[in-house]
Amino acid sequence: MLDRPHPTPEAPELDPFVLAKALSGAHFIGGRYVPARSGKSFAVVNPATGAEVAQAAEGDAADVDAAVEDAAKAQKAWARVPARKRGALVHKCAAVIRDHVEELGRLIALETGKALRTESRVEANTVADILEFFGGLGSELKGESVPFAPDVLSVTVREPLGVVGAIIPWNVPMLLMALKIAPALVAGNAVVVKSAEEAPLAVLRICELMNRVLPPGLFNMVSGFGPECGAPLVAHPKVRKVTFTGSVETGKIVYRTAAEKLIPVTLELGGKSPMIVFADCDFDKTVAGALTSMRFTRQGQSCTAASRICVERPIFEKFVKAMADRVNAMVMGDPLDEKTDIGTIISEGQFEKVKGFIEEGKATPGASALVCSAMPKDPALRKGLFLQPVIFTGLDNDSRLVQQEIFGPVTVVFPFDDPEAVLEAANDSEYGLAASLWTNNLKVGLDLAHRLEAGLVQINQNLVVQANLSYGGVKSSGLGKEASLEAMLEHFTHKKTIMVNMG
């Protein structure tokens, strides 16, 4: 039984307000809830109403040090556990998460404003899927025999790195945390996660749930702000690997700090993903795919959102109208309501940033803005961070709305005539995370897929991150891969060579 200094429910709690209060004011370190050593905390706000729903522990270097020290102690014993048994325990964690999917979905909807039916419940299920996938890969931590000399046995083995520091963002915090902790744990590492200050609750609950299965101290979590909590985690001398998802600017800071320590990093730093639509596409499927690709149900708060849509000119006008009609049919409202398709923006700061981009686009000569869907009418939501999706046309490729990651429900649609010109425009970006192509001519699709500067290219679909598919970007979109066996082997182990002279 876990040592709980305040009452968190043993069974799934389907009232997210009750669960949020129960999770207030604590990190999870050494198998138990602990308050911040400074005694400080900060508000967690429901973006649909503007009301405070909980307090989160405000971590600093002292909390980070305690978490890392506990993790370092636990990791030594964990590394000696057979890899398949480690995997089996992670797989067992997945079963616990599955029992709590509805609880976690409601909790993440409360703290992030993402719609329960279209986004949050899906994310909770995906966490269990990721844990199941990596839990089955313990046997794949294989080495090689190396032909060196007849009387010398030369082999390589995979060994864990030690303590992994994981820093996660707020848009899909449960999913992105799972992509980091699952391969790290199966590979024999311990993990300290620093949650996003906007969304610390659901990931804290997952940490507790997994600690019901895992040895104490192996998986610790701290909450707080970047400079006071995230930076000490990256800089801690016993952290031997950092995996970070967030902005390019913060990613560069993480990379510089890691370079001073000469430790490996994995960075996923966002995108400005193009969607290229040819006139021969399956029209209805592609229009539906545009809504999915733009992640409108998540208010566009996705690194892989198709925020640049290039449509072949013969179907351009028809496509823009059909897309707007589909978005207009989507319901914006209370994230916890099953009727809701679209929830809210995460925070006041992000809301103002996105509004600024929209206002700039509307003020641009020659631009046209299709404002879609309808604001919720419920008076209880009048203070909520709801923002109508906007489809822009008439913007040039050098517009800030085309070149910068907005992270909101804003996309720009262009007509094109020449595949080579659209390829050049698609690659004219500092980002290179994802892209999609929509055509029934697979020869054209595959040719462009090979030449697009992106880490993930999909043809006639644009799925979110999936376990077992290598995911990661090029250029300013980051370094390294996630979600695959490759990620576990290359980013959470090091290869050691052992030679035995038998002569």
Point out the residues that are catalytic. 268
| Triad 66, 70, 71: Cα angle to 5° | 115
Q: Is the dihedral of CA 440, 441, 446, 452 positive or negative?
A: negative
CA distances from 88 to 172, 227, 350 (A): 25, 36, 40
* DSSP-H helix ranges across 385-441: 400-403, 419-427
- Residue that has been written with the tokens 């006041």 in this structure: 348
**Whole-angstrom distance, CA of residue 355 vs CA of residue 346:** 13
Question: Would you call 331 exposed, middle or buried from its count of C-beta atoms within 10 A (0-12, 13-18, 19+)?
Answer: middle
Q: Tokens for 109, please give them.
A: 């909807």
Expressed in angstroms, the distance from the first to the final Cα of the chain is 54
**Whole-angstrom distance, CA of residue 189 vs CA of residue 79:** 7
On whether the CB atoms of residues 59 and 233 are closer than 8 A, the answer is no
Which residue from 125, 10, 29 is spatially nearest to 72, judged by alpha carbons? 29
**Whole-angstrom distance, CA of residue 200 vs CA of residue 27:** 10
Coil/strand/helix, residue 328: helix
Q: Tokens for 161, please give them.
A: 């790195």
For the chain, what is the radius of gyration of the CA atoms?
23
Question: Would you call 363 exposed, middle or buried from its count of C-beta atoms within 10 A (0-12, 13-18, 19+)?
Answer: exposed
State which amino acid sits at residue 351.
F
On whether the CB atoms of residues 175 and 465 are closer than 8 A, the answer is yes
On whether the CB atoms of residues 480 and 267 are closer than 8 A, the answer is yes
Q: Tokens for 250, please give them.
A: 């913060």
**Whole-angstrom distance, CA of residue 208 vs CA of residue 253:** 30
